[in-house]
A and B are shown apart, each in its own frame.
Chain A
Amino acid sequence: AQTVTQSQPEMSVQEAETVTLSCTYDTSENNYYLFWYKQPPSRQMILVIRQEAYKQQNATENRFSVNFQKAAKSFSLKISDSQLGDTAMYFCAFMKHAGKIIFGKGTRLHILP
């Protein structure tokens, strides 16, 4: 069974700093998808970034980028120039080609003014 591990329950950084959230996963699949979701206090689930396992190039979305290490089964999220609005829970998620999506337990990120 697939598992997703986020080893940092909570993190705090100063505004404008760069922060990296870690995620590791376990799977025997070769083709799969990885996601980072943001959940602000409003409780909405917002997709931040996604990565297809067969793509070697790391995904980027504005200030958000990932470091995808397939062999190490690692999928970390880097937030550059962090903003107060980035304060939220961040969830890493794994999906194989078709079917269920498994989430990690989340990292609570605080951006400090």
Chain B
Amino acid sequence: NAGVTQTPKFRVLKTGQSMTLLCAQDMNHEYMYWYRQDPGMGLRLIHYSVGEGTTAKGEVPDGYNVSRLKKQNFLLGLESAAPSQTSVYFCASLGVGHFADQPQHFGDGTRLSIL
């Protein structure tokens, strides 16, 4: 009963390095989301996906790319990390037709530090 799993849980990068955050869900959910959480800013939506092979921009998409090649996975990429991308990143998923019946399922977050 894993739910939403984020990998890795912690990472430290140097400016300019690239990395990919992986989100995996085992609930056959259609919708998946990537958020970043910064002090005083709440959760801001980076990108989201309403189905396999589709992605859309959220509130703060610049500097990030995403892919949804498989329904269960949603990848968040940083091509050239910047200190401003230091944050806690949350992935979430939601099933179609259950908007009010079930909440978004969140992962436990990834703490990313860019030096």
Interface residues of A (CB under 8 A from B): 6, 9, 33, 35, 37, 43-45, 47, 50, 52, 91, 95, 97-106
Contacts and interface: CB of A to CB of B under 8 A. Distances in A.
B100 to A, nearest CB: 5
| A-B residue pairs, 3 tightest by C-beta | A47-B103, A105-B42, A45-B106
Contact of B88 (A6, A43, A102): A43
Interface size bracket, B side: 20 to 34
Given A45-B90, A52-B100, A98-B50, A103 B42 contact: yes
B56 A50 contact: no
A104 to B, nearest CB: 6
A83 B63 CA distance: 41
B69 interface: no
Nearest to B104: A101
Given A45-B106, A50-B103, A52-B100, A100 B45 contact: yes
